[in-house]
Structure 1
Amino acid sequence: MQQHQQQFIDAAPGFRLWTEQLGPADAPPLLLIAGATMPGPGWPEPLVDALAAHHRVIRYDHRDTGRSTWAFDERPYRITDLAQDVIAVLDGLGIGRAHIVGLSLGGMLAQLALADHPDRLLSATLIGTNALSTVPYTRPDGTEIPAADLPGISPEVLEMWARPVEDHGPEAELDRRVAHWRLLAGPQLPFDTDYFRDLERGIIEHTGHYTSSTAHGRADHSGMLRTEQLAANKIPTLVISAPAEPVFPPPHPHHLTQAIGTAHLVEIAGMGHALPPAVHAPLAGALLRHTGATA
């Protein structure tokens, strides 16, 4: 039976998280973990629908996003607390083990789940993220690069992130968010302004306001390295390589596959740090092959 069910779960004292389930209730569960400041509806509907044809797909709003509790200033938390929310969502929905897919910050939270709660996972997919490991990257020629010396975030993205977000009304906020997606999407695929504007308009309608939270950027990022645990990982792990990625550009995906046991790599042509329509079908195909939902 297909389901489209929304419910709130209590993840931690003072924090309730909005969740949504789509797809057959008896299908293998697949949990989508969004990036920083991104609520569940940041996962595009066509991609979610493709996955929900084979999975019980769950997406949720992080703390300080969407319809979940916004309370960082009163109750500050660590990024590792957001990783505990991943398990809290599974617990709250009565799910023992799930496939997980993490994008950007969500990819870091997925790695923390791999390291700390492997018994709760069926598989993991990491998109647009970096390894929580000090293992050096070994080039094809055999030379090594320290993890700390891998390429950083593009100057254009850093410059935009450094600008204060000012309130000039909802349409100006949509303009700002679309400009942000234009930078994140990278230069290899045509940029669809209307698509990303509609995506963000839907997020604002879901949230009920157009305020952008800065909580995840201000949260304590310490205590996230899991070098030994990730090297010993036995959970099937897929790393998506995005050649136009401006936040964690190549060879970050290749470094992930070296740092995480059992990891393998699939490249999505033209992809950057965004999920435009052109990547939905190839990304869904790679995810479903990895989860075993399709041959």
Structure 2
Amino acid sequence: METFVDAGDGYRLWVETTGGEGLPPLLLVMGAGASGIAWPGELVARLARHHRVIRYDHRDTGRSTRAFHERPYAIRDLAGDAVAVLDALSIERAHVAGMSLGGYLVQLLLLDHPGRLLSAALWGTSVLGGARPDPEIRDEDLPGPDPRVLAMWEQMGQERDQEAELRWRVEHWRILNGGVLPFDTGEFEDLERRVAAHSGGWTASLAHALADRSGMERGGELARVTVPTLVIDAPEDPITPPPHAARLARAVPSARLVTIPGLGHALSRATVSPLADALIAHTRSAGAPGRTP
């Protein structure tokens, strides 16, 4: 089922739900500049055997309102959008999973809306800024993104024709995939064509890169989190490589760290089975949801 949700300040978010309404809800939170369509259909289908799966388009992505230059917002407002989606669907509590920027948003949900979360899962991300010093994994031990990724990001938003844009996006995914799991060019070409069809065009928005990042220095507060949390270590992630995941898991007392061998920063077919298995095992262990009347 597809619908639109009002998130305030004139923003409407495209939302899709898959799976039985009586199943425990699972909200998927995508990364920066990515629409909900970036969640692989095969992964959604696997999760929907056990959950009412909810994926949505962030502001300025997909079919959601694109108005950043007229009504700018902060990254932290995107976490509020996730709550707005739950409210609109009358979901009191949900399992929540986020990758990349979605992982930062899940951390904000853990801090500001713990009563709305049955469990949390996050990967492809790092601990929020301002985390307490860790004697075993120091901040200076955390590597930055691969230089190849940074070089691609310098070209983000440049004007290109459709075919050149498609080639750029697929090459970006090739680097994000890492060097272990197989990379199928056709798979990611199909993904980007679906994203373009869903979005109504090939113009990429830089809104999330330009959004206000204040209020994100809250890593020290993660020490009070009690929501069951799964941190997935993606050992081939070229954006947040090890030991970012281990540092995050150590910052959250309720967290459990699980490694998916070969996982990078892309969701290819090869990742669907191990990722679905890890998420389902985690939500199952966290228990059943509460629902509003």
Distance 2:156 2:271 in 1: 31
The one-letter code matched in structure 2 to 1:121 is L
The structure-2 alpha-carbon separation of the partners of 1:155 and 1:42, relative to structure 1 and needing over 3 Å to count, comes to same
Partner of 1:208: 200
The one-letter code matched in structure 2 to 1:136 is P
Q: CA deviation at 1:158?
A: 0.7
Q: Is the 8 A contact 1:54 1:293 kept in 2?
A: no
What's the TM-score, normalizing by structure 1? 0.94
Counterparts of 1:1-295 in structure 2 under 5 Å?
5-132=1-128, 133-139=130-136, 144-145=137-138, 147=139, 149-292=141-284
- Name the Cα RMSD after superposition: 1.5
| Structure 2 unaligned blocks of 5 or more | 288-293
Distance 1:234 1:228 in 2: 14
Partner of 2:290: none
SS of equivalent residue, structure 2 residue 265: coil
Distance 1:238 1:102 in 2: 11
Q: Identity over the aligned pairs, expressed in percent?
A: 55
Distance 2:44 2:166 in 1: 23
SS of equivalent residue, structure 1 residue 24: coil
**Equivalent residue pairs, number:** 286
Q: CA deviation at 1:228?
A: 3.8
Q: CA deviation at 1:274?
A: 0.7
Q: Is the 8 A contact 1:288 1:294 kept in 2?
A: no
Cα deviations across residues 12-62 of structure 1 (Å, max 9, x unaligned)?
121000000000111000000000000000000000100001000000000
Which structure's relative contact order is higher, taking Cα pairs within 8 Å and 6+ residues apart? Answer: 2
Cα deviations across residues 192-233 of structure 1 (Å, max 9, x unaligned)?
101111111101111111100000000011111223431111
Q: CA deviation at 1:136?
A: 2.9
SS of equivalent residue, structure 2 residue 19: strand
SS of equivalent residue, structure 2 residue 77: helix
Distance 1:184 1:127 in 2: 13
Distance 2:206 2:284 in 1: 37
Distance 1:170 1:163 in 2: 15
SS of equivalent residue, structure 1 residue 213: coil
The structure-2 alpha-carbon separation of the partners of 1:164 and 1:284, relative to structure 1 and needing over 3 Å to count, comes to closer
Q: Is the 8 A contact 2:96 2:106 kept in 1?
A: yes
Q: CA deviation at 1:168?
A: 2.8
The structure-2 alpha-carbon separation of the partners of 1:200 and 1:138, relative to structure 1 and needing over 3 Å to count, comes to farther
Distance 1:148 1:101 in 2: 27
SS of equivalent residue, structure 1 residue 114: helix
Distance 1:209 1:293 in 2: 41
Q: CA deviation at 1:127?
A: 1.1
The structure-2 alpha-carbon separation of the partners of 1:294 and 1:111, relative to structure 1 and needing over 3 Å to count, comes to closer
